Structure 1
């Protein structure tokens, strides 16, 4: 009997659902037809009619018991059919699979911890760099303030030279070479002019 592609897909889904439902359903799958209705079951069809679609082997049944955590029932099934070697083989494969899954979970957990630690270290490094930059800026400001205070404490001469802005004093004498001396004409310098100054902030002077 030929089966269409949609029918084959439906059959495959049905086999998976029946096989994964319970250890009993992991055994045999029958296709039963009654009054124009098709049903899939793990029990033989009524009256012995129907079609056996899938017959689970002993290894599948033992694996199903083991996946459900029913190791004793898997052993009982194997002992009842003298399948001790098969039971040991399937049990070893199951244990190896569990160990690999546990190792994978542990590796994932360690990787996550490493990612968290790297993120934490990155945050600490950024915080340290920010503190160093702030400390450097504060030190620069402190040095500027100290320099400013030093400039304010420097003594400032508030008085400029006495002849600031005037020609230096000198005495002129006119000598007559013709023998007539009308007297010496002395030119006295003007009195010194003082310009009082005012000291400003930062060591500057305003006069």
Structure 2
């Protein structure tokens, strides 16, 4: 069993051609019947057998030439049909459309530039805020350290580290003070003992004391 490919109905094809006439340019749409076959074209039907479905007006023709950049053909068409006023009107309309397009592009470029500048300014604000935050944290830490140092100094002032007296360096065991002061038993006079030495202790970290 053979399946025929789907065919576009002629009515739909006509609508497509009419739509193309409005978008692609000025075109006349003809419905031609040759040998029982119906076709649609933008050229007149052979031997004049056909139906004109859409006829491009003068504005469409001139606009199509101008849109394609064929200003000379547009001017010739207007002159041959005594449409100088219409031609001038379409020239001004094209220029206005071009000016509006350029203005839109300029506005879009300016808006993009403004957005970029706003983003740059916001980045500077964020950077300054972060810098101030870090400076504030550092200041708090510095104040805490100063307070700790002051507290440590106050503790050392009110609670000085202990000290001790070193014994006489020349004191011999087994001899009393009077005997050592007068002599050593053999008739020699010994020098008086040295004064004891004072050794202050040193306060270490963690509450420890080194003497």
User: Structures share a fold, TM > 0.5?
Assistant: yes
Decide whether the 8 Å contact of 1:27 with 1:57 is kept in 2.
Answer: no
Residue aligning to 2:169: none
Displacement, 1:17? Answer: 2.2
Residue aligning to 2:53: 53
Displacement, 1:18? Answer: 4.4
Residue aligning to 1:14: 17
Choose from 150, 157, 161 the match for 1:158.
161
Residue aligning to 2:175: none
Deviates more, 1:46-55 or 1:143-152: 143-152
Residue aligning to 1:94: 94
Q: Which digits, 9 at most, give the CA deviation of each residue in 1:157-183, with x for residues without a partner?
A: 336xxxxxxxxxxxxxxxxxxxxxxxx
Structure 1, unaligned runs of 5 or more = 1-5, 160-195
Decide whether the 8 Å contact of 1:30 with 1:43 is kept in 2.
Answer: yes
Instruction: Report 1:137-176 matches (<5 A).
Output: 137-153=137-153, 155-156=156-157, 157-158=160-161
Residue aligning to 1:81: 81
CA distance in structure 2 between the partners assigned to 1:151 and 1:86 by the alignment: 96
CA distance in structure 1 between the partners assigned to 2:15 and 2:87 by the alignment: 27
Displacement, 1:67? Answer: 1.4
Residue aligning to 1:29: 29
Aligned pairs, number: 162
CA distance in structure 1 between the partners assigned to 2:67 and 2:146 by the alignment: 79
1:64 aligns with 2:64: yes
Structure 2, unaligned runs of 5 or more = 1-8, 163-199
CA distance in structure 1 between the partners assigned to 2:138 and 2:146 by the alignment: 12
Residue aligning to 1:172: none
Residue aligning to 2:197: none
Residues 8, 93 of structure 1: alpha-carbon distance in 2 compared, 3 angstrom cutoff: farther
Displacement, 1:200? Answer: 5.3
Displacement, 1:198? Answer: 7.4
Structure 1 counterpart SS, 2:39: strand
TM-score by length of 1: 0.66
Q: Which digits, 9 at most, give the CA deviation of each residue in 1:5-34, with x for residues without a partner?
A: x76554232123245446xxx232101122
